[in-house]
């Protein structure tokens, strides 16, 4: 479902006029904000298969820090491997990396560990690997990358649309403060049920990825 379709779906349920483009009115812009807020809540509740991606890059001799290009800052790494050496990259931490690279004399060899270190100039998260590469190694990261906010009318939501729609509607009802008809609390209960159903269905695709947190 597109950004515009989501916004109009919420507007219809509020008995408001639909729009031809999301920025058409100040209220449709507000509903668009609710859609993106709802999208983020839904994305944070589960590791959706639609957000799963592979990031692969080659190391450079003597360089230890690399960007996960295209991942942005909101990424969840599920598995990392050194394809060249046919081994798993274990998750480490920045404190350990600082000690190895700034106090100790770092080893130079095939990487066996990684740790998040920050972001690059493009806003993509960076990782530092250890030992420091002494050659070209192909590293692979299996990750879940959150979709950027929907901005254009034709932007397509990647995760199931119904939980996002129901959560956004609940936010709109709460903002309006209406007491007649369906309350925000009732709507959020429906949204929670919709999200649970969508998570259960999606989790069957990857049985190991069943983490769920209700909104």
Predicted TM-score (pTM) of the model is: 0.76
Tens digit of each residue's pLDDT, the chain (215 residues) = 999 999 999 999 999 999 999 999 999 999 999 999 999 999 988 888 899 999 999 999 999 999 999 888 888 898 999 999 999 999 999 999 999 999 999 999 999 999 999 999 999 999 999 999 999 999 999 999 999 999 999 999 999 999 999 999 999 998 887 555 567 777 777 777 777 777 776 666 655 544 433 33
| Other Cβ atoms closer than 10 A to 118 | 12
Q: Taking the chain, what is the end-to-end CA distance rounded to the nearest angstrom?
A: 21
Q: Is 6 exposed, middle or buried (0-12, 13-18, 19+ CB in 10 A)?
A: buried
Supply angle C-alpha 172, 47, 126, rounded to 5.
105
Place of tokens 């690059």: 120
């Amino acid at each position: 479902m597109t950004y515009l379709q989501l916004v109009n779906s919420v507007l219809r349920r509020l008995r408001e006029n639909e729009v031809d483009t999301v920025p058409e009115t100040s209220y449709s812009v507000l509903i668009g904000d609710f859609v993106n807020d709802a999208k983020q809540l839904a994305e944070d509740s589960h590791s959706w298969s639609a957000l799963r991606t592979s990031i692969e890059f080659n190391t450079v001799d003597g360089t230890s820090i690399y960007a996960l290009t295209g991942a942005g800052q909101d990424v969840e790494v599920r598995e990392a491997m050194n394809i060249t050496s046919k081994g798993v990259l274990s998750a480490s931490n920045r404190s350990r990396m600082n000690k190895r690279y700034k106090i100790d004399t770092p080893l130079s060899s095939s990487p066996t560990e990684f740790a998040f270190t920050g972001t690059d100039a493009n806003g993509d998260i960076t990782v530092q690997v250890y030992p420091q590469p002494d050659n070209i190694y192909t590293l692979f990261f299996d990750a879940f990358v959150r979709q950027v906010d929907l901005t254009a009318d034709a932007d397509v939501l990647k995760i199931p649309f119904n939980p996002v729609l129901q959560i956004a509607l609940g936010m709109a009802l709460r903002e309006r403060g209406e007491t007649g008809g369906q309350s925000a609390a009732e709507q959020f209960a429906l949204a929670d049920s919709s999200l649970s159903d969508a998570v259960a269905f999606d989790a069957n695709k990857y049985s190991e990825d069943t983490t769920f947190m209700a909104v």
